[in-house]
A = this chain, B = another copy of it.
Amino acid sequence: MKRLLSLIALCCALHLSAQEALWWKTPTTSPEINENRTVTFRLKAPYAKKVEVTGDFLPEGNAEMRKVQPDLWEYTTPFPLRADLYSYAFIMDGVRITDPSNVYVTRDVVTMNNIFIVDGPRSKVYQELDVPHGTVSKIWYPCDQLQRMRRLTVYTPAGYSENGTTRYPVLYLLHGMGGDEEAWITLGRVAQIMDNLIAMGKAKPMIVVMPNGNMDQVAAPGYGPDGNIVPTIELPRTCDGTYEQSFPNLVRYIDRTYRTIPRKNSRAIAGLSMGGFHTMMISKEYPDLFDYVGLFSASVKKNVDGVYSPVYERFHDKLRTQFAKRPALYWIAIGKEDFLYPANVEFCELLDRNRHRHEFLETEGGHIWKNWRFYLKEFAQKIFK
């Protein structure tokens, strides 16, 4: 052991450019979750003139950090944080950076954030607990619409490999604009939420399928043959009807490849923001596919300006057909501060006027992952029951 340690010491001491840095522990502790549930952030930055922390727990968005030592900046939240999973980053002299002391980093479109969890009953479901864990797979499937292979993420529940004959219901879970097949599994904590709900008996064991809704992308950045190209401001062919039309084939592929229960009453679809738009469109376009429908902070438009697709035609007729077939659940959730809130209230009124049975959940907060994780947790407990 000593010899191993001395090798590390040697390696670090020499700082040879030919050796890669080996660090087991970052020199600063950040974030630190204090006993009273306030949280302290620290950054070692001797020459910085201004350091801020930005995060989804700050009412104003940003807060200035204070120089507490010649080389150390610090900020402690003036209030205890409610148990939840939070994300944050630092802004050092105008440059947005992740916290070098925290290895938990997630990508949100092209922005990197750190995450941390404040422990408590409300955040238990987001944590890795000592419960049976499902398997997360990145698979490539043949997309008939694009005539090529595309990547998607699949969660299979604990016991799937062992119980060789049991068949499972399937939840199709769609990301928002700028997201991809990585979004729900990283930012959305799907594996942790499903593992925990299933272990507690609050959700049925189910398969969760997370496809990529950008038809110009075969996979998330870095996993498609697009070399070093980063996503562009152009919408990557998300709302021209093609994605919606590709769904029956995707469902067939999943039913062929996994031990699913290949019936409407064992299929759910849900999506956030743009994925809510897709969910609304797909579920009405193919009214015999999904019995459970979840719109999370959805963009509830009836068509897309300037785009022609048969998918966006005869919206009201198709909605009427869908509801005539009495879906087991049509669930709409949105935060009161979400910029899509008025449109969702209006959509609910439309459903009410037409006596289309649905459930509506109004929460605090805006168009943020904190809400989408919570909506998934709620929705997952309502389906396949």
A residues bordering B, Cβ < 8 Å?
1-5, 7-8, 10-11, 14-26, 31, 33, 43-50, 56, 58-61, 92-98, 100-105, 107-112, 116-117, 119, 127-130, 132-133, 135-140, 148-149, 151, 158, 161, 177-178, 219, 221-225, 227-228, 230-235, 239, 257, 274, 299, 301, 304-307, 335, 337-340, 365-369
- Taking a contact as CB atoms closer than 8 A, the residue among B16, B59, B135, B335 that contacts A138 in the complex is B135
Contact A127 B227 (CB under 8 A): yes
Contact A100 B105 (CB under 8 A): no
Which B residues lie within 8 Å of A119 (CB)?
227
Residue on B with the closest CB to A107?
B103
Given A97-B97, A109-B22, A367-B18, does the pair A306, B1 have CB atoms closer than 8 Å?
Answer: yes
- Taking a contact as CB atoms closer than 8 A, the residue among B14, B98, B228 that contacts A112 in the complex is B98
Which B residues lie within 8 Å of A158 (CB)?
140
Cα–Cα distance between A1 and B47 once the two chains are bound (Å): 45
Given A1-B304, A128-B224, does the pair A101, B230 have CB atoms closer than 8 Å?
Answer: yes
Contact A133 B112 (CB under 8 A): no
Contact A178 B22 (CB under 8 A): yes
Contact B107 A339 (CB under 8 A): no
Contact A20 B367 (CB under 8 A): yes
Contact B108 A20 (CB under 8 A): yes
Given A45-B93, A48-B95, A119-B227, does the pair A112, B104 have CB atoms closer than 8 Å?
Answer: no
Which B residues lie within 8 Å of A337 (CB)?
16, 18
Contact A95 B100 (CB under 8 A): yes
**Residue among A97, A127, A274 with max Cβ neighbours from chain B (10 Å):** A97
Contact B18 A116 (CB under 8 A): no
Residue on B with the closest CB to A47?
B93
Which B residues lie within 8 Å of A305 (CB)?
1-3
Residue on B with the closest CB to A18?
B366
Contact A23 B110 (CB under 8 A): yes
Cα–Cα distance between A108 and B139 once the two chains are bound (Å): 25
Contact B26 A110 (CB under 8 A): yes
A-B CB contact pairs (8 Å), 25 listed: A1-B304, A1-B307, A4-B304, A11-B367, A14-B339, A17-B59, A18-B335, A18-B337, A20-B108, A20-B367, A21-B111, A22-B109, A44-B94, A47-B94, A48-B93, A93-B93, A97-B100, A102-B230, A103-B107, A104-B221, A105-B112, A130-B148, A132-B140, A135-B138, A139-B161
Q: A20-B368, A24-B235, A33-B228 are in contact. List 18 more A-B contacts (CB 8 A).
A: A1-B307, A4-B177, A5-B235, A7-B340, A19-B367, A19-B368, A25-B231, A31-B228, A45-B94, A96-B100, A100-B112, A102-B228, A103-B107, A103-B221, A105-B107, A119-B227, A132-B140, A137-B137
Which B residues lie within 8 Å of A18 (CB)?
335, 337-338, 365-368
Cα–Cα distance between A180 and B107 once the two chains are bound (Å): 20
Which B residues lie within 8 Å of A133 (CB)?
140, 149, 151
Enumerate the 6 nearest inter-chain pairs by beta-carbon distance, A residue then B residue, closest first.
Answer: A18-B366, A17-B61, A47-B93, A18-B337, A133-B140, A137-B137
Residue on B with the closest CB to A56?
B20
Contact B137 A136 (CB under 8 A): yes
Given A19-B368, A23-B109, does the pair A47, B44 have CB atoms closer than 8 Å?
Answer: no
Which B residues lie within 8 Å of A26 (CB)?
110, 230
- Taking a contact as CB atoms closer than 8 A, the residue among B19, B23, B59, B178 that contacts A366 in the complex is B19
